[in-house]
Chains A and B, each alone.
Chain A
Amino acid sequence: MRLPESQVAVLNAASATDEQTIDSLADETGLKPETVTQAAFELRDEGYVAVSEEERVEYDLTDEGREYVEDGLPEVRLYRAAVEAGATEDAVGMGQVIGASGLGGPEVDIALANFGRKGYGQIESGQLSADADADAEDDPESVVLTALEAGEAVVDEGVLEQLVSRNLVERHEQTVRSVTLTEAGVTLLMEGVEAAETVDRLTPEMLTSGEWEDVEFTEYNVEADAPEVNGGKTHILRQTADRVKDVLVGMGFQEMEGPHADADFWINDCLFMPQDHPARTHWDRFALDVPPIEDVPEDLVDRVEDAHRNGVGDDGDGYHSPWSEDFARAIALRGHTTSLSMRYLSGHEVGDLEPPQRYFSVEKVYRNDTLDPTHLLEFYQIEGWVMAEDLSVRDLMGTFEEFYAQFGITDIQFKPHYNPYTEPSFELFGRHPETGELIEIGNSGMFRDEVLEPLGVECDVMAWGLALERLLMLMYGFDDIRDVHGTMSDIELLRETEVLR
Chain B
Amino acid sequence: MPVVDVHPDELRQLTGHDDKSDQEFKDDLFALGLEFEGETEDGAFQLEFGPDRLDRLSVEGVARSLRYQYGDARGVYVPKTNDPDFTFVVDEDVPEERPYVTGAVIRGVDLDEDALDSLIQLQEKLHATMGRKRAKGAIGIHDLTMIKGEVLREDTSGNSITYTGVDPQGDTFVPLDGDREMTPAEVLDEHQTGQKYADLVGEYDRYPAIYDELGLFSFPPVINGRRTEVSTESRELLVELTGTDQWTIDRMCNIVCYALDARGATIEEVEVEYPDRTAVRPDFEVDTKSVPHERIETMLGVDFEAREVVDLFERSGLDADVNVDDARDDAADQSDTVYEVSIPPYRVDILHPLDLVDDVGRAYGFNELEPRYPNVGTVGGRHERSRLEDAARASLVGLGFEDMLNFHMTSEAEVHDRMNVEAGSDYLGGGDPARITGPYSEDYTILRTWALPSLAMVLENNTHRAYPQDLAEIGLVAERDDSVNTRVRERRHVAAVLARHDATFEDAKGRLQALCRDFGVELETPATTHPSFIDGRVAGVRIDGDDVGVVGELHPRVLVEHDLELPVAAFEFNLDALR
Inter-chain contact A394/B466, CB cutoff 8 Å = no
Inter-chain contact B355/A487, CB cutoff 8 Å = no
Contacts of B488 in A (CB 8 A): 259-261, 288, 290, 331
Inter-chain contact B402/A494, CB cutoff 8 Å = yes
**Interface assignment of A278: CB less than 8 Å from any CB of chain B:** yes
Inter-chain contact B458/A312, CB cutoff 8 Å = no
Interface residues of A, CB < 8 Å — how many?
Answer: 104
Contacts of A312 in B (CB 8 A): 352
Inter-chain contact B438/A491, CB cutoff 8 Å = no
**Interface assignment of B204: CB less than 8 Å from any CB of chain A:** no
Whole-angstrom CA separation of A378 from B49 in the bound complex: 25
Given contact pairs A287-B437, A398-B373, A377 touches B361 in the complex (Cβ within 8 A): no
Q: Mark A385-424, 1 if CB is under 8 A from B, else 0.
A: 0101011111101111110000000001111111100011
Please name the residue on chain A nearest to B432 by beta carbon. Answer: A290
**Interface assignment of A315: CB less than 8 Å from any CB of chain B:** yes
Inter-chain contact A253/B380, CB cutoff 8 Å = yes
Whole-angstrom CA separation of A486 from B30 in the bound complex: 37
Whole-angstrom CA separation of A233 from B398 in the bound complex: 8
Q: Mark B373-411, 1 if CB is under 8 A from A, else 0.
A: 110111111110110001001101111111111111100
Contacts of A278 in B (CB 8 A): 132
Q: Mark B229-257, 1 if CB is under 8 A from A, else 0.
A: 00000000000000001011000000000
Please name the residue on chain B nearest to A278 by beta carbon. Answer: B132
- For chain B, give the interface size range: 35 or more
**Interface assignment of A174: CB less than 8 Å from any CB of chain B:** no
Inter-chain contact B437/A417, CB cutoff 8 Å = no
Inter-chain contact B371/A254, CB cutoff 8 Å = no
**Interface assignment of B560: CB less than 8 Å from any CB of chain A:** no
Query: Which of A230, A255, A311, A487 contacts B382 (CB under 8 A)?
Result: A255
**Interface assignment of B536: CB less than 8 Å from any CB of chain A:** no
Inter-chain contact A417/B397, CB cutoff 8 Å = no
Inter-chain contact A232/B248, CB cutoff 8 Å = no
Given contact pairs A286-B436, A356-B376, A317 touches B352 in the complex (Cβ within 8 A): yes
Q: Mark A205-231, 1 if CB is under 8 A from B, else 0.
A: 000000000000000000000001011
Q: Mark A251-263, 1 if CB is under 8 A from B, else 0.
A: 1111111011111
Contacts of A294 in B (CB 8 A): 485-487
Inter-chain contact A377/B380, CB cutoff 8 Å = no
A324 to chain B, nearest CB (A): 15
Whole-angstrom CA separation of A333 from B50 in the bound complex: 25
Given contact pairs A366-B409, A398-B373, A232 touches B399 in the complex (Cβ within 8 A): yes
**Interface assignment of B357: CB less than 8 Å from any CB of chain A:** yes
**Interface assignment of A186: CB less than 8 Å from any CB of chain B:** no
Given contact pairs A290-B482, A414-B367, A426-B366, A394 touches B400 in the complex (Cβ within 8 A): no
A430 to chain B, nearest CB (A): 13
The CB with the most chain A CB atoms within 10 A, among B299, B398, B444, B461, is that of: B299
Please name the residue on chain A nearest to B402 by beta carbon. Answer: A232
Query: Which of B245, B394, B434, B465 contacts A320 (CB under 8 A)?
Result: B245
Contacts of A486 in B (CB 8 A): 405-407
Contacts of A368 in B (CB 8 A): 440
Please name the residue on chain A nearest to B414 by beta carbon. Answer: A487
**Interface assignment of B90: CB less than 8 Å from any CB of chain A:** no
**Interface assignment of B180: CB less than 8 Å from any CB of chain A:** no
A328 to chain B, nearest CB (A): 13
Whole-angstrom CA separation of A232 from B393 in the bound complex: 10
Whole-angstrom CA separation of A318 from B247 in the bound complex: 12
**Interface assignment of A357: CB less than 8 Å from any CB of chain B:** yes
Whole-angstrom CA separation of A357 from B289 in the bound complex: 32
Inter-chain contact B301/A313, CB cutoff 8 Å = no
Contacts of B351 in A (CB 8 A): 311, 316-319, 450
**Interface assignment of B226: CB less than 8 Å from any CB of chain A:** no
Query: Which of B300, B381, B405, B468 contacts A393 (CB under 8 A)?
Result: B300
**Interface assignment of B112: CB less than 8 Å from any CB of chain A:** no
Contacts of B398 in A (CB 8 A): 232
Please name the residue on chain A nearest to B400 by beta carbon. Answer: A232
Chain A residues within 8 Å of B, Cβ to Cβ:
228, 230-235, 237-238, 242, 245, 248-257, 259-263, 276, 278, 282, 286-295, 311-321, 331, 333, 355-358, 364, 366, 368, 376-378, 386, 388, 390-395, 397-402, 412-419, 423-427, 446, 448-450, 484-492, 494-495
What are 5 A-B contacts with C-beta separation under 8 Å?
Answer: A295-B485, A356-B376, A386-B376, A394-B371, A423-B352
Additional A-B contacts beyond A392-B299, A448-B352 (4; CB < 8 A): A233-B397, A418-B53, A450-B352, A487-B454
